[in-house]
Amino acid sequence: MDSSLLPFFRPNGIVIIGASTSPQKLGYGVARNLTQSGYTGAIHFVGQSPGELFGRPVHKVLAQVPDPADLAVLVIPAKATPAAIQDCAARGIRAAIILSSGFREAGADGAALEQQCAALARLHGIRLLGPNCVGIIDTHLPFDTSFLQPPMPPQGGIAFVSQSGAFCAAIVDWSRRQGFGFSQIISVGNQVDVSEAEMLSAAAEDEFTQVVAMYMEGVSDGARFVRAAGTVTERKPVVALKVGRSPAGEKAASSHTAALAGSDAAFDAAFAKSGILRAATAEELFDWARALENCPAPAGRRVAVLTDAGGPGVIAADALTAQGLQLATLGRAARALLAARLPPAASVLNPVDMLASASPEDYAFCLSTLLTDRGVDSVLVILPPPPMHSAESVAAAIIPVVRASAKPVVIALLGSHLTASAFESFAGARIPTYPFPERAASALGALFRRAQYVGAQRPQIAARPFEVPFRRMTSSIDLLAAYGIQTADLRLATSAEQAASIAGEIGFPLAMKIASPNIVHKSDAGGVLLNVRDVESVLNGYTQLMDSARASLPQADLLGVHLQPYIFGGQEVIVGAVRDPQFGALVMFGSGGIEAEALNDVAFALAPLGSDEADDLIRRTWAGRRLDGFRNIPPVDRAAARDALVRFSWMVHEHPEIDQIEINPLRVLTTGAVALDVRRGP
């Protein structure tokens, strides 16, 4: 952990500036929470009204506070914060949590005040958390610098890093009824200094933290966040809920790539590159975190479903398939054991339906049988209110089986009143329990994806894996060539006669395309002719292309017509990039040619890419999977497409002046791949 952050997590003494004796004020709530938290370090209060608070003196000024005091918690009006930071500097305090609001979120004046605080903190070497946050809670040390309603959340292994204070308050209260706890709650607020990336790293270093959950509205430094998260996920899982999926504003798109790359695609790519599991809802965030905290990793995607009712088993089967998991095929020995135990009408296939008469002992026996089957990687147990037994008795029977297993088991505990005691038992045993099969299946999906990530070989990409000759590159074609990406010979003709002359030099057959910086979709403007085979067709084609473009877009700046060899066969894909302001170059791969926007068959990743990352990006699209052949479509050189994608990603990574660029199409042939059309945006 960065030594400058230690006072936030291992403070020897905490001083609350703005402590109040009035129970109606936040300064009272913070003092109450810290005093009642069980914190064993020194606690000091500074407030406007001298006297005592919770048996401790209230000092008039910070200079009066005795040692030790290395963390300050500011619960004061925003305008008083700069002076308080100055006081902290004079007192030797180098870490402060600003709980106060009224800063950037309040408008221009608040933003200016926030920057003043940041400048003072930098001047004096003080780290600031916040402002506009609810502070830090550590359930194991323990301490509580928040003003949230007591009691503290129960102890657990989930560290929660949030950019919303209100969401922290809601989740802490909600978690008590859901049967899970936290190791730490960290509210980062406006992040005027300490960032979400720093707090992610710090939370992961905590010995009690098994998984980090994050609520995110944005990032302060995209590249830094990806580096920090990538380091953390090598050791511990991270789950994030990133809100604001809709782009706040569309860029004027001068390429397919920019049109298809919403701002949210960059976060998807950043999370994928750094190993973060992205949740779609708040429920998913903590459903997954609870499973990752308490379950062993599955060896594969094969799941057994154990139930005493057919309908919920079918629901589970559908949900598991939607998660990319599969129903395990039970071995002969397991089926024989189940058949010997259960009534003849029971199903010993998967899902295993024990029927409504299943006893607690049946549940325990069948679960143990499934867990010992080598063809089963994890088990989803569905427990509706049993008609002949109590749900609590079933829970008591299977909890020892689950706890002894090296395979993950999750519970779908249906019902409410009749299963309440069973829920308490499962929660006490730290067995992830969900109200419906879909949520249990989702948790198993997260476990599997985490296991895949941990098991994957991800060599660090420290340097470009190929040479680039040093030479003057005056065009996009030159740049692609320098990075080893093959391009088709492209010539510009500004008259029909010049087009005929160029055709004689290139040879037939030809492709002819309108040349205009204003026409992105050439085919839509009647601006493409393919398989042109003679001079007369070239002469007529030039006139035809110019006339079609003028009719389609009268205001377009027409430069002439491009001619290039017409390359037969192969498959067309698109390779593009757009520069995200937070994360850098965002690379796209997908269906090319006229299919690019029609199919929306594209996937994104952050540059630069290694071979494995490029392979994964290709596999995520239908166009990429089709490279291996499909029905009457013959396979092409997938390795050449991957190599071009890797080279392209390094090109855009190393040339920050490129805002948008795309190859559309990149024609992948039986041997090799050729860029047929390259467009560079502003």
Task: Kindly write down the DSSP assignment for every residue of 6-63, as one continuous string.
Answer: HHHHS-SEEEEET--S-TTSHHHHHHHHHHHTT--SEEEEE-SS-EEETTEEEESSGG
CATH for 495? 3.30.1490.20
Q: Is 278 inside a domain boundary?
A: no
Q: What is the tally of structural domains in the chain?
A: 3
Query: What is the pLDDT at residue 255?
Result: 45
Residues with Cβ within 8 Å of residue 437, at least 6 apart in sequence:
312, 315, 316, 319, 380, 382, 412
Distance CA(554)–CA(138), nearest Å, equals: 66
Q: Is 266 inside a domain boundary?
A: no
**Within this chain, do residues 377 and 419 fall inside the same structural domain, yes or no?**
yes
**Within this chain, do residues 87 and 205 fall inside the same structural domain, yes or no?**
yes
**Within this chain, do residues 187 and 85 fall inside the same structural domain, yes or no?**
yes
Query: What is the pLDDT at residue 499?
Result: 95
**Within this chain, do residues 450 and 505 fall inside the same structural domain, yes or no?**
no
Domain end residue (candidates: 521, 547, 565): 565
CATH for 93? 3.40.50.720
Query: What is the pLDDT at residue 293?
Result: 98
Show the low-confidence residues of the chain (pLDDT under 50): 248-257
**Within this chain, do residues 433 and 502 fall inside the same structural domain, yes or no?**
no
**Within this chain, do residues 20 and 74 fall inside the same structural domain, yes or no?**
yes
Domain end residue (candidates: 516, 543, 565): 565
Distance CA(390)–CA(422), nearest Å, equals: 8
Distance CA(332)–CA(659), nearest Å, equals: 59
Query: What is the pLDDT at residue 329?
Result: 98
**Within this chain, do residues 528 and 440 fall inside the same structural domain, yes or no?**
no
Query: What is the pLDDT at residue 25?
Result: 94
DSSP track, 317-381: HHHHHHTT-EE----HHHHHHHHHHS-TTSB-SSSEE--TT--HHHHHHHHHHHHH-TT-SEEEE
Query: What is the pLDDT at residue 253?
Result: 36
Query: What is the pLDDT at residue 251?
Result: 40
Q: Is 534 inside a domain boundary?
A: yes
Q: Is 342 inside a domain boundary?
A: yes
Chain centroid to CA 508: 49
Q: Is 316 inside a domain boundary?
A: yes
Residue with tokens 């690019």: 596
Take residue 424 and report the two structure tokens written for it. 């308490």
Residue with tokens 């990409």: 461
Contact 658, 667 (CB under 8 A): no
**Within this chain, do residues 444 and 497 fall inside the same structural domain, yes or no?**
no
CATH for 374? 3.40.50.261
> H or E segment at 3?
none
Q: Is 437 inside a domain boundary?
A: yes
Q: Is 541 inside a domain boundary?
A: yes
**Within this chain, do residues 96 and 194 fall inside the same structural domain, yes or no?**
yes
C-alpha torsion sign, points 562, 563, 564, 570: positive
- Residues forming a β-bridge with 510: 532, 565
**Within this chain, do residues 401 and 505 fall inside the same structural domain, yes or no?**
no
Query: What is the pLDDT at residue 250?
Result: 38
Domain end residue (candidates: 517, 550, 565): 565
Query: What is the pLDDT at residue 262?
Result: 53
- Residues forming a β-bridge with 563: 491, 512
pTM of the model: 0.90
**Within this chain, do residues 41 and 185 fall inside the same structural domain, yes or no?**
yes
Domain extent, residue 382, equals: 297-455
Contact 136, 8 (CB under 8 A): yes
**What's the chain's Rg over C-alpha atoms?**
31
What letter would DSSP give residue 153?
A: P
Contact 313, 441 (CB under 8 A): no
Q: Is 520 inside a domain boundary?
A: yes
**Within this chain, do residues 419 and 495 fall inside the same structural domain, yes or no?**
no
